[in-house]
Amino acid sequence: MKEFSFEIKKKSKEAPMARVGIIHTPHGDIETPAFIPVGTKATIKSILPENFNEFVKADAILANTYHLYLEPGNEIVKNHGGFAKMMNYVGPTFTDSGGFQVFSLGSAMGVGVSKIATREDLANENIEKNISKKFNLLDFFKRNKYLFIEIFLSFMFWGVLRIFSEDLNFLLGSVSSLIFFFIIDILFFKKYRLRDRQKYNNLKNNNKSLVKISENGVEFKSVFDGSKHIFTPEKSMEIQHDLGADIFFAFDECTSPFANKDYQKEALERTHRWAKRSLEHHKKLGVSGATGQRQALYAVVQGGAYDDLRKYSAQVLGEMNLDGKYFDGFGIGGSFTKEDMTKILKITNENLPENKPRHFLGIGEIEDLFYGIENGLDTFDCVSPTRLARNGAIYTKDGRINIFNSKYKTDMSPVCEDPSCYAHKYTKAYLAHLFRSKEMIGATIASLHNLHFIVSLVKDIRQSILGDKFFEFKKEVLERYR
RNA sequence: GCGUCGAUGGUAGAGCGGUCAAUUACAACAGACUGUAAAUCUGUCGCCCUUCGGGCUACGUUGGUUCAAAUCCAACUCGGCGCA
């Protein structure tokens, strides 16, 4: 059985940081650069493992700690001998630490913020503040609508009774009678006010973070039943030992692209302390309880879009060790704009140990892959191919298409030109029909295609580096894709 | 034949005198999606004018009542049900 190791086969002659290598793991080799499909809940959504192996030909897959902890529970996964065995997948595996959920269930919750922000978003100052302002106004209106009606009607009753009640002076014409009518109104409108309040609360809850971050860790409210769960670096290590991946990540905090520098710094320092604790606890736990094998631990570099923070984080984590035991590799996480991405990657990878593999967490659009590899990355995981596929977006060499567009209803051309792709056998018209009629196999074909497309693209990039044609290949692909 | 209930935008189906070009769902047309709260979400959805807004034609047909009708009345047409 092979231990984890990384060897660099070739450094690009054109792009100084790009390299071709092999990550050896107990379950097989990953030829890098490589794209790692995501199977969050121990399934590549909509694809059978056999079809995945035969038609996608990826070297590894990645699952998620948070999701498998909540369902079915890491204990059950452990009893299967790890998530790979459970899902009948043979090959190298990764698990993510749950750090991304600090962002997606935290600051991004219900606000529609993506971790890849645009420059416009950032320029549009404090988007989060704007959102909360809007909600305060709405809040005020919602909460007081019936109060206004009540006050108005009280005055009406009071006024009307005054006109007809010269002989009822003892009751009317006094403030107390006004209050009397007001109370009647309040009782009368009680049920409407309550209903309104309920609506308002629902609205507010939609916009509410499900996480609480502290030095010790992160408190998550389960999205399934609202139950509370604390993730600490130690807890994350324990779960990931039960999940049994060959490679796993230290618990980190993925910050929002809208967080300011002070906060990024604070979160970064915390992530470093958590990395240290992850390293310690991983050592204490020893081999995986699920597979009996030693697992490789990657640290996660953070620092948002700030050069100096990224450099600092790379240096600290690169040197971090426990009695000479260093991290086996590094993930690059966090959020930023597309424009900032390249410079961040460059400065990060320049400051990470060269002989360790580097993984780009959650990034995988076509141009990102080129820029990532050019700047020294070895592996990528991304949800994009499968999620896009399920929503009807199909990669083609000439750009992404939306199979729902009416023109594809009658398009007899194959979904994929490449005969080695499963989708080659089907017309776009058929795929359009499957999607329109909500047939499940539509998502399957589209997912197989999109994954095949991205995985083979990265393999081709690998070949282009080996053949010293990286830039030529990049230009050719991107020009056509755009 | 008699009685009774009904007829609303591509479909289903709300509305039952002004706040109605008409709630909603589906369909249709577009868009978004980057460590998966995601087989999800957003927008448009009678016609015309450049948006705010304005104009026009519309709730089976034709008349009527009313300042005002998808909404009330009458007749007709079509359909469901019941009795012959």
Give the domain ranges of chain A.
10-109+235-381, 387-481
Kindly determine whether the C-beta of residue A202 is less than 7 Å away from any atom of nucleic acid strand B.
no
- Which has the closest alpha carbon to A366: A334, A398, A344, A390? A398
Phi–psi pair at A442, nearest 5 degrees: -60, -50
Please answer whether residues A25 and A36 qualify as being in contact, where contact means their C-beta atoms are separated by less than 8 angstroms. no
Instruction: Give me the catalytic one of A59, A185, A242, A381.
Output: A381
Which residues lie across from A29 on neighbouring strands?
A24
Phi–psi pair at A154, nearest 5 degrees: -60, -45
Task: Identify whether A381 is a catalytic site residue.
Answer: yes
Among chain A residues 32-71, those with CB within 7 Å of any atom of strand B: 38, 40, 44-45, 62, 64, 66-67
Find all residues with CB under 8 Å of A458, minimum gap 6, and list them: A33, A34, A35, A369, A373, A380
* Rounded distance between C-alpha atoms, residue A286 and residue A479, angstroms: 49
Kindly determine whether the C-beta of residue A116 is less than 7 Å away from any atom of nucleic acid strand B.
yes
What does each C-alpha distance from A27 to A30, A54, A262 come to in angstroms? 10, 18, 42
Greatest C-alpha distance within chain A: 106
Among chain A residues 71-100, those with CB within 7 Å of any atom of strand B: 96-97, 99-100
- In one-letter notation, the amino acid at residue A282 is H
Kindly determine whether the C-beta of residue A404 is less than 7 Å away from any atom of nucleic acid strand B.
yes
* Rounded distance between C-alpha atoms, residue A475 and residue A347, angstroms: 23
- Which has the closest alpha carbon to A107: A223, A237, A210? A210
Homologous superfamily of domain range A10-109+235-381 = Queuine tRNA-ribosyltransferase-like (3.20.20.105)
What 3-state DSSP class applies to A202? Answer: helix
Alpha carbon dihedral A177, A183, A184, A188, in 10-degree steps, equals: 160
- What does the pLDDT profile of chain A (482 residues) look like in tens digits? 689 999 999 999 999 999 999 999 999 999 999 999 999 999 999 999 999 999 999 999 999 999 999 999 999 999 999 999 999 999 999 999 999 998 999 888 877 788 988 887 777 644 334 333 333 333 344 344 445 555 656 666 666 666 666 665 555 556 666 665 555 555 444 434 443 443 344 334 444 788 889 999 999 988 888 889 999 999 999 999 999 999 999 999 999 998 889 999 999 999 999 999 999 999 999 999 999 999 999 999 999 999 999 999 999 999 999 999 999 999 999 999 998 999 999 999 999 999 999 999 999 999 999 999 999 999 999 999 999 999 999 999 999 999 999 999 999 999 999 999 999 999 999 999 999 999 999 999 999 999 999 999 999 999 999 999 999 999 999 999 98
Write down the residue that tokens 């197989």 correspond to: A448
Q: Exposed/middle/buried for A345, CB within 10 Å: 0-12, 13-18, 19+?
A: buried
Task: Identify whether A323 is a catalytic site residue.
Answer: no
